[in-house]
Amino acid sequence: MPETEKAQIAHLLRRAGFGATQEELDEFTAMGYDATVRELVYPTPRALDEPDILQRYYLGNLPPDDHRFPGEDLLLRYYPDISRAEGGFVAKWLYRMLNSHDPLKERMALFCHQLFACGGSKAGHPRSNRRQIETFRRVGLTNLRTVLVEVSKDPAMIFWLDNNENHRVEPNENYGRELLELFSMGAGNYTEADVKASTQAFTGWTFDQPLVGTVYGKWPTKFVYHPEDHDDSEKTFLGETGRFNGEDIIDIICRQPATARFVARHLYNFFVADEPPVSAWSQLPPRNIEAIETLSEAYFSHRGEMRPLMHTLFTSDFFKEAMFQKVKSPTDLVAGLARIMGTFKEPEIGIGKHLNAMGSMGQTLMNPLTVEGWITGQGWIDGGTLNERVNYAVNEIADTSVPGTQDLIDRLGTDGESVSLERFVDLCLEHAGLSTVSKETRAGLLSHAHAGGPIKFRSAADRAMSETRVGKMLQLVVSAREYQFY
Amino acid sequence: MVTSVKKPPVLVVVQLAGGNDFMNTIVPFANPLYYDYRPTMGVKEDKVVKINDQVGFHPAAAPLKQFWDSGKMAIVQGIGYPGGSRSHFRSMYIWHTCEPVKISTEGWLGIVTKMLDPKKENVLTSVNFGRGLPQALVSKGVPVTSVGDLDNYGLMTGLTVEEQRMEALDRFKEMYAPAMGTGPVMDYLSETGNSVLQGAEIIKKAPEMYKSKVEYAGNEIARGLRDVARVHLADLGTRIFYVNHGGYDTHSNQAPMHQILLSDLTRAISDFFRDLRDHDAADNVTMLVFTEFGRRVADNGSGTDHGAGGGAFIIGDNVKGGFYAEYPSLKQPDLADGEDLKHTYDYRGMYASILEQVMGLDSVPIVNGKFEQLPIFK
């Protein structure tokens, strides 16, 4: 594969964002790789690019403070189904992934959602769950300590891991354990006594019980600390002793080399190349130990600040060398396809269908099944989910009237009155973001091209015929094995 | 005409994910210590569905009593493994791979699939229902069919012109041709794609053929076991079925949650066997119901934390009903780390019992050693 700067920038934009249009790619290529990284990690402030119309289509807005947003109240009172019909906040989040000028912010929110997996189905309080995603968007690129404190104070998380049931006299270990096992250090780096100390430290961290739901929505809730329910006794945690509260535990966690390595491995798995499931990490070494070392060092030298850490990651050789080393998540598959097709550039009705499709492929955003998050990489693929992926992509791309496909047909037409079948296959592959494919895939595509005869652009009828051919070729391209990688 | 051909044994594995509370499933109501440990979570004696003078089912598990009374249910007590992990994910991995210490990438049922069908003649030898393939079924180069939605399983079904669909499927087959050495995930994709290609055309017969008087409930486990019934009844040569029932991580609000879980589970099991019996297709089916660990002996006021010493059920016409292994002692000095049920029996022995006594397989290479078997089967 020719490692041209343009190809590397395309790779960067797929991983730090959700892909790029040809236009955006040309723009960033003119800037160069390093400048593109800087723009992603330290974006130029822009006016808020969220039109009011977004709210009208998807709702799920979050009030600026803990008071209810009057417009939303009224709308929901009269049209209680409006937000549900179009996926509400998740729809808005997907829309932002596709259109944001600060895509890394949405990527980091998704990273946090994968790492601090929290399921909405248990809570039944969507307001808290969408607030959690807003928190991830807000703090994802700050500092690991800030992120861990915010996660520990997040009402949705507190409910999901039962910290509201973690009392001075009756401790509940769910949060105290998962904070260590899944959110910061990883199994094997602490003892059962540390789990108990961590649990004690988070007693009294709870939320205001919201009032029961009303016909037009639910009331917000917020973090509260109940000192009378906090176990203020002396605790020993990871070798340190004191009357620790939750923030002290997080401070100690953030000083551990195990934490730096664990977060580094998560970043590597999410942004660079697939790793085995988290549950195997205590037994299986990282795929690239040097990369983990580099990121761990960056973690300590930048005192847990995420932006410089991401800068280190995106400018490293191990990142640049990892093109097509990851299996697309359902979010990436759906977002990537919408990017290719040029759909959802404005809010449109119909986004709910795509969210459902992601669920069938194994990823219902804002509702991972367990606190382990989704099993990524090869874990995204089994017979059932591959079936869903292929059928979804094939059905979607069948619509050749979309702007992306029309562009491709235009580009094919500029070749002259007839296009060679090799060129036809190549352009369709490139359009789908695939620079190289196996010889089996290429042979399959070429034999399909040959079966259909030449591609011509002499007349309007030729063009119509070519349009059909492009549609069918793209259907095969998106069902190829290679299309599952990015 | 051959009048009696012995049908090959079929194993249905039901996974209870999250760590089912064994003490509140098989309740030791006669032991006063139980109520000392479980002041809020204890199931009251008058609610327990007693099966002897010591223990009984949680009231929501009452549908299991028919299996117990007819001698078709084994309750294996106090199951665990050395150095029990309180991590759901690690512990489940250990159950899936039969490796409590190191990481193995081979799932026990993946190896079983390979032994049952060494020439890979039937991609439906093992079928999982659900999203995400459990590690238990993973073994390199072994095709396993995983079905998210049985009624819509099939590639390119959106291509309505049959000729075009066939052409697309032919190209798909070419593009997913095995190209060994292109990377493990790419190889896996090839295998998976080919399994879907072959499996879908066969398995889609199952819903078409199925007729039943049994009305299953609409929950996850009922849908899963109905899918098992539909495929089993279609006689497609499936030997291993796998379904997951999640939600057993009851740290809080356990009483109402566990009630629903056990009720959904046991009603689904009851409906499933009734369905099979109605079709005279139950006699070669063995069901294993397992979970990754039991929960802490003492409750935490509204639920229970992660513990050890769980339990499993084995149900089928071939089962010699009764209790197997020992219910762990509840006496304080006998508890593991002073707070967990100490396991009395290694789960790998239970696997070995099923593998050797039912499936007729050598268990040693599957469970990685020799473990004490129990005489569970007739």
DSSP of A310-368, one letter per residue? HHHHHHSHHHHT-TT-SBPPHHHHHHHHHHHHT--SS--TTHHHHHHHHHHTT--TT--
- Candidates B192, B244, B248: best to mutate against A (most CBs of A within 10 A) is B192
Nearest CB to A387 within list B86, B144, B196? B196
- Here the tokens at position B241 are 């079925």
Cα nearest neighbour of B97 on chain A: A280
Mark yes or no for CB contact A377/B171 under 8 Å.
no
Please give the average per-residue pLDDT across A463-468, as a whole number.
92
Cα atoms in the Cβ-side hemisphere of radius 13 Å centred on B185: 22
Pairing of strands B310-315, B73-80: antiparallel
The minimum CA-CA distance between A35 and chain B, rounded to whole Å, is 33
Whole-number Å distance between alpha carbons of A77 and A217: 8
Those of residues 181-220 in B touching chain A at CB distance below 8 A are 182, 184-186, 188-190, 192-193, 195-196, 199-200
Q: Chain B within 8 Å of A446 (Cβ-Cβ)?
A: no
Mark yes or no for CB contact A165/B302 under 8 Å.
yes
The minimum CA-CA distance between B254 and chain A, rounded to whole Å, is 11
Q: Chain A within 8 Å of B300 (Cβ-Cβ)?
A: yes
Nearest to B40, CA basis, from B256, B308, B337: B256
Residues with Cβ within 8 Å of residue A191, at least 6 apart in sequence: none
CB pairs under 8 A between A and B: 182
Cα nearest neighbour of B40 on chain A: A170
Would you state the pLDDT for residue A14? 95
Those of residues 80-139 in B touching chain A at CB distance below 8 A are 85-90, 92-93, 102-103, 128, 130-133
Interface pTM, i.e. ipTM: 0.88
Write down the pTM of the prediction.
0.90
Task: Please report which confidence band the pLDDT of residue A87 belongs to, taking 50, 70 and 90 as the band edges.
Answer: confident
Nearest CB to B90 within list A161, A279, A443? A279
Would you state the pLDDT for residue B268? 98
Q: pLDDT, tens digit, for every residue of A151-162?
A: 999 999 999 999
Q: Chain B within 8 Å of A387 (Cβ-Cβ)?
A: yes
Whole-number Å distance between alpha carbons of B24 and B20: 9
Mean model confidence pLDDT for chain B: 94
Of all residues in chain A, what percent carry a pLDDT higher than 70?
89
Of all residues in chain A, what percent carry a pLDDT higher than 90?
71
Q: What are phi and psi of B73, to 5 degrees?
A: -135, 125
Task: Please report which confidence band the pLDDT of residue A211 belongs to, taking 50, 70 and 90 as the band edges.
Answer: low
Those of residues 327-346 in B touching chain A at CB distance below 8 A are 337
- Candidates B128, B151, B305: best to mutate against A (most CBs of A within 10 A) is B305
> Helix, strand or coil for residue A308?
helix
Mark yes or no for CB contact A279/B93 under 8 Å.
yes
Would you state the pLDDT for residue A415? 75
Using 70 as the pLDDT threshold, list the residues of chain B that sit under it.
1-5, 179-181
CB A97 within 8 A of CB A106: yes
- Candidates A391, A481, A482: best to mutate against B (most CBs of B within 10 A) is A481
